[in-house]
């Protein structure tokens, strides 16, 4: 039992603001009921390489994708363009093994620590964040590790 068990889902994250590492938290299903998916039923999920700290990508999850990710330890997103579950690496082979996951203070964003096989980006680059912007100029910051035509079986 947890002192947070009796709360309605809409009040849980507010109550957790003052919780401590020593507190017992509600069961996972109660947490998932309280996650603030957006009006499309989706949650932004940031993937960070667990050992180097590099931020690899941001994609979206619905509740089913989040539950599958926690169960299988293999990261599954929801593809907004294809409107279906997207098991990262299912075409390219570039999977993400889940190391840990954490929700933010208001329960509407997820941070994943992952072990990424090869490039995370569909362009063949390690990270999706390669268009740097400053006040003066923009620049490309990385080259593909692998030709995307190879990744997606077009070669």
**Which residues are annotated as part of the binding site?**
104-106, 108, 121, 128
The answer to whether residue 138 forms part of the interface with its own copies (CB under 8 A) is yes
Instruction: Return the structure tokens found at 137.
Output: 């100029």
Q: How far is the CB of 117 from its own copies (least distance, A)?
A: 18
The answer to whether residue 97 forms part of the interface with its own copies (CB under 8 A) is no
The whole-angstrom distance between residue 46's C-alpha and the CA centroid of its chain comes to 4
The answer to whether residue 55 forms part of the interface with its own copies (CB under 8 A) is yes
Per CB under 8 A, the list member of 6, 140, 154, 155 interacting with its own copies is 140
Please give the Cα distance from 146 to 115 (Å, whole number).
18
- For residue 102, report the phi and psi dihedrals to the nearest 5 degrees: -145, 135
Q: 56-95 mask for its own copies (x: CB under 8 A)?
A: -xx-----------xx-x----------------------
Please give the Cα distance from 152 to 19 (Å, whole number).
45
Instruction: Return the structure tokens found at 52.
Output: 């180097």
Q: How far is the CB of 20 from its own copies (least distance, A)?
A: 6
Please give the Cα distance from 115 to 126 (Å, whole number).
12
Please give the Cα distance from 106 to 127 (Å, whole number).
27
The answer to whether residue 16 forms part of the interface with its own copies (CB under 8 A) is yes
The answer to whether residue 132 forms part of the interface with its own copies (CB under 8 A) is yes
End-to-end Cα, the chain, rounded Å = 56
Binding site for its own copies (CB under 8 A): 13, 16-21, 23, 25-28, 31, 44, 46, 48, 52-55, 57-58, 70-71, 73, 100-107, 109-111, 121-123, 125, 128-143, 148
């Amino acid at each position: 039992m947890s002192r947070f068990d009796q709360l309605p889902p809409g009040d849980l994250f507010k109550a957790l603001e003052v919780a401590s590492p020593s507190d017992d938290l509600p069961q996972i299903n109660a947490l998932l009921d309280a996650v603030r998916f957006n009006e499309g039923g989706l949650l932004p999920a940031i993937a960070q390489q667990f050992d180097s700290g590099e931020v690899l990508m941001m994609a979206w999850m619905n509740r089913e994708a989040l539950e599958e990710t926690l169960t299988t330890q293999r990261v599954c997103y929801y593809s907004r363009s294809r409107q279906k579950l997207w098991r990262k690496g299912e075409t390219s082979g570039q999977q993400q093994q889940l190391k840990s996951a954490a929700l933010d203070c208001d329960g509407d964003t997820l941070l994943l620590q992952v072990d990424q096989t090869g490039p995370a980006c569909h362009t063949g680059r390690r990270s999706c964040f390669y268009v740097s912007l400053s006040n003066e100029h923009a620049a490309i910051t990385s080259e593909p590790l692998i030709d995307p035509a190879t990744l997606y079986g077009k070669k």
